[in-house]
Amino acid sequence: MNIVIFSPVLRATTGSPIRAFNIIKGLSRYGGNNNISLVSSAFAEELLNNYKCYSVADYGIENTLKIAVEQSQADVLFCITHSSANIVRKVAKSFKIPFFVDIHGISTIEILEERISLSEKLKKIYKCLPWFLSITQANKIFCASPTLYIWMRRLFGNRAIDLSGITDVSNFKYTHQKNKCVKISYAGNLRHYQGVDMLLDAINIIGNTDDFKFYILGDIGINEFLKQKIESMRKQKNLMIIPSIDYTKYPDFLISMDVFVIPRRSSLTTYMAFPQKLIEAMSAGKCVIATNLPSHRIALANPVCGILCEPNPHSLAAAIIRAKDSNLRKNLGNAARTKALKDYDLPIQISKIIHFLNSSLN
């Protein structure tokens, strides 16, 4: 099968690009004789070395897609994230080939919660609406979040497919650490909905103790609020701020940790999301502490393979203190890795995509 995949960026190492890497890798590894061509604005070197890549820089998205479809004699067009899905749909329709889309979230919901003026929100929503409306024409809509899938299923019936948390579990090795202190990590962007300030408040409640060491992995950037908050905590010897690292080094970072924290706030954005880092931490067999949101419960509560807490500093601090128990961490970590292998591993999840891609040609 000849497949053309569009994703806005195939170089960054967070969120949607990581999911795109996993899908591309899975289709190559488990899809048989697939011929995959990639269209994007930027590519990781490993993709440039292994796939036919078309940059949109010279001809724009629509014309570049047309060139890729013509040259590869594409059987299907696959859009990863709904960004510019309207353009991908238009090209698929002009060539009379099936159109698939993988959605990681809904941009219009995230925009509503951004701390920007109403006029800026309206401008961004106006730009995003054609993307969302175009997915109504997709053959199948693969959903990266179980809660997002619930709503897509209500809207689009059996065209919505649950593809939550797709992760190459083999990338993440499991070792139960025996550190002198409990190493607790956060990794990801530092936007408000992520709740990093909540984690900092929890660290203050726990105090400057030798029992724990906290590692926040991510660029503070222009977030002045977090900068000031972290600066006020500089005297705490148990808090480490680490700049973002290359994604290839991230599994080794996880190995060295004991606990992974996801302190997200309750909001529409977080309700629809399913953090990639959550499944990666589970894959590494780490004890995961997450706020008690619907998507986190789906991953960690049935069966129990993590610690859920309410989205406030005191509840988060209590959960961290509870994770001081080495046996608890080991048991939860084992259960988390088992669930990741069973429900989210690459060969299991990619088989769903392959099935529907093949079905569209019959």
On the 0-12 / 13-18 / 19+ scale of CB atoms within 10 A, 210 is exposed
Which pLDDT score is estimated for 191? 75
On the 0-12 / 13-18 / 19+ scale of CB atoms within 10 A, 51 is middle
Which pLDDT score is estimated for 209? 87
pTM above 0.85, yes or no: yes
Cβ distance 328 to 322 under 8 Å?
A: yes
Which pLDDT score is estimated for 237? 74
Enumerate residue ranges in the chain where pLDDT < 70. Answer: 12-15, 105-116, 126, 177, 220-223, 234-236
Which pLDDT score is estimated for 126? 67
The size of the chain, in residues, is: 362
Which pLDDT score is estimated for 106? 63
Which pLDDT score is estimated for 229? 76
Residue at 62: amino acid letter:
E
Cβ distance 1 to 361 under 8 Å?
A: yes
Which pLDDT score is estimated for 239? 86
Which pLDDT score is estimated for 208? 85
Domains defined along the chain, listed by start: 2-166+346-359 (3.40.50.2000), 169-343 (3.40.50.2000)
On the 0-12 / 13-18 / 19+ scale of CB atoms within 10 A, 246 is exposed
What residues contact 196, with CB distance under 8 A and at least 6 apart?
A: 186, 190, 216, 218, 226, 263
Cα(348)–Cα(327) distance, integer angstroms: 30
